[in-house]
Amino acid sequence: HAPVQLVTPLGDRFLSERLHDDLEQWVPQLTRRTVQAGHWIPRTRPDQLAAWITEFVTSVEDDRPRPAAGDRHAERFGGQLVLVTGAGSGIGRATALAFAEAGARVVAVDRNAEAAARTAESSRLAGAPAAWAETADVSDEQAMERLAAKVGAEYGVVDVLVNNAGIGLSGSFFDTTPEDWKKVLDINLWGVIHGCRLFGRRMAERGQGGHIVNVASAAAYQPSRALPAYSTSKAAVLMLSECLRAELAGQGIGVTAVCPGFVNTAITSTAHFAGVDAEEEKRLQRRVARIYGLRNYPPEKVATAILRAVARNEAVVPVTPEARGARVLSRFAPGLLRWIARVKPPV
């Protein structure tokens, strides 16, 4: 039995996917790949085919484990080019690694060069046939334009874009300075706009579909007296995602807004608390980090939800139970959510 790789274009009108049912019976070492394309993929997706063939041959020669036959994520994402911003830590890092495990090629972007390099290295170890680290501040329009030009020229058109980079900001409306507002909107909202505009345009021009994931927050639909600026930035990301989803649907490009909930990452220790001095800010960061630590919801579960959301082309994905609960309340009992918004946070 020789190892065999089967590539099935899902939009092939001549050779249906059903023709390959039960193939494992005859070919025990089978690696399946599917791609959203028509019959002539050697012509329309040469980059994708070449990446899969290279990866397959190398993994057979090196006797490296290949994605298991029947692994849906490997079939869906193997060989695809996935770019994740804020990939140096937390949800971004876990997401990059999950795509790497599914055999995707990964571009790990972060403003922290060392952290991005670590994620790229771990992605290779996790199974990515190729992984690159890129340093960019998502709020810097020119830096993002340079990044998009480099990625396009050197790695190809991104199949899955995850706009994840973001920062936390807590404090009442009157404690939040114009500089605080500018910073949180520049990163949390403009970072997403730059990503969608630059990478989304190339996706649309290629005409072979793709997917954009924007990491919003449960704060996008759950008001809170403690997070006016952060929640505003995330509500804007949620609405942007919905509008873009409508615009790009006809081009086979899915758009998902992910709303995680409380997730145990480093965001708690870097979040800015407006209206308090540096010492009090440190104390609040430690306290919130402790609460998130006790909740202990791992970023890996958010990553799993992101891969599933792309595979199913879901529109809005609340992740933790509290995020899902708040989403239900925002629809069916918004008055209750408004009452909860008035409660003073326990920090």
180 binds ligand NAD (CB under 6 A): no
122 binds ligand NAD (CB under 6 A): no
For the CB of residue 59, give the shortest distance to ligand NAD in the complex, in Å: 30
Query: Which region, judged by CB under 6 A, interacts with ligand NAD, from 100-108, 151-159, 256-264, 335-343?
Result: 256-264
164 binds ligand NAD (CB under 6 A): yes
265 binds ligand NAD (CB under 6 A): yes
Nearer to ligand NAD, 129 or 200 (CB): 200
Q: Which of 55, 101, 137, 180 binds ligand NAD (CB under 6 A)?
A: 137
Report strand pairing: 4-9 vs 105-110.
unpaired
HSE-CB at 198 with a 13 A cutoff on CA atoms is: 24
**Dist CA 185 CA 182 (whole Å):** 5
Q: Which of 5, 31, 89, 170 binds ligand NAD (CB under 6 A)?
A: 89
263 binds ligand NAD (CB under 6 A): yes
Whether residue 106 contacts residue 128, with contact meaning beta carbons closer than 8 Å, is answered with yes
**Dist CA 239 CA 235 (whole Å):** 6
- Residue 155 among the catalytic residues: no
Q: Give, in order, the Cα–Cα distances in Å from 288 to each of 33, 89, 230, 260, 322.
A: 43, 18, 16, 16, 17
- Cα 233 versus chain centre, distance: 17
**Dist CA 168 CA 138 (whole Å):** 15
Q: Which of 266, 311, 315, 341 binds ligand NAD (CB under 6 A)?
A: 266
Q: Nearest-CA neighbor of 214 among 187, 233, 196?
A: 196
166 binds ligand NAD (CB under 6 A): yes
41 to 80: interface string for ligand NAD, x by CB under 6 A: ----------------------------------------
195 binds ligand NAD (CB under 6 A): no
Q: Which of 8, 112, 122, 304 binds ligand NAD (CB under 6 A)?
A: 112
Q: Which of 31, 34, 80, 139 binds ligand NAD (CB under 6 A)?
A: 139
280 to 319: interface string for ligand NAD, x by CB under 6 A: -------------------x--------------------
128 binds ligand NAD (CB under 6 A): no
167 binds ligand NAD (CB under 6 A): yes
For the CB of residue 35, give the shortest distance to ligand NAD in the complex, in Å: 29
Interacting residues with ligand NAD (CB under 6 A): 85-86, 88-92, 110-112, 115, 137-139, 164-167, 187, 191, 215, 217, 260, 262-263, 265-267, 270, 299
Q: Which residues are designated catalytic?
A: 230
